[in-house]
Amino acid sequence: MQDYTILVNKEHLLSSDYVPENLVITDNNENNFHNYKDASLKPMVSADIMPYLEAMQNAALYAGLRRIIVDSGYRPYEYQKVIFDKFVAEVGLEEAKKAVALPGSSEHQTGLAFDIAYMDNGVYIENTSDSDPEIKWLKENAHKFGFILRYPLGKEEITGYKYERWHYRFVGVEMATILYDAGITLDEYYERVEQENHSRGR
């Protein structure tokens, strides 16, 4: 069984050959990173999280919001390398590190993370804003379905990445609720666990 709470960041890497076993295409919309490598690539996530994603999508629709869709899902190690190298060429290494994960450090490789977009009357909308009612709704409700805003505003020094209102990660309802109620990131949670274990002499 896949570990939904796995910590993936700049210090905790996935192997270059790690591929989730049960990936599924979320819909037929284009992956927003298709232009980096493969025009036929569709957004995918782990099949395990699809029921939670669909429940969240339906709840948002019921609340009168636009359909929230996956704009960019699973990315293989080599695909992430293509994206990262392109950003380096465009903005330089240091700025690229703040905006794009190094190969092996991207949550997208787990199949548990995705960037969101909207579908509005058949129109695919990938640009988001903090003023969007969907963004506000997700911040307050995503945890009920097991998802967390992975790179929140004000936590840049902790996560190592710029604020990304569009990036959500599945960790399970229990963990997502713990993090939401405590107002902490997944990185902070594991840091606290490590500190507690250290104080107990483990």
CATH for 149:
3.30.1380.10
Is this prediction's pTM over 0.75?
yes
Q: How confident is the model at residue 202 (pLDDT cuts 50, 70, 90)?
A: low
> Residue 41: is its pLDDT beyond 70?
yes
Inside any domain, residue 169: yes
Contact 46, 52 (CB under 8 A): no
Q: Which residues contact 59 (CB under 8 A, 6 or more apart)?
A: 141, 144, 145
Please determine, for residue 34, whether its predicted confidence score (pLDDT) is greater than 80: no
Domain count, the chain: 1
Residue 13 lies in a domain: no
User: What's the Cα-to-Cα distance from 57 to each of 14, 51, 68, 134, 152, rounded to whole Å?
Assistant: 29, 10, 6, 10, 21
The answer to whether position 6 is within a domain reads: no
Q: Name the CA radius of gyration of the chain, rounded.
A: 17
The verdict on whether 140 is a catalytic residue reads: no
Active-site residue identified among 21, 107, 134, 164: 164
| Look-up of token digits 């992430």 | 80
Q: What range does the domain containing 157 cover? A: 23-199
The answer as to whether 157 is a domain residue is yes
Interatomic CA distance for residues 118 and 32, integer angstroms: 12
Residue-wise pLDDT for 106-154, tens only, equals 999 999 999 999 999 988 898 999 999 999 999 999 999 999 999 999 9
Residue 199 has pLDDT above 80, yes or no: no
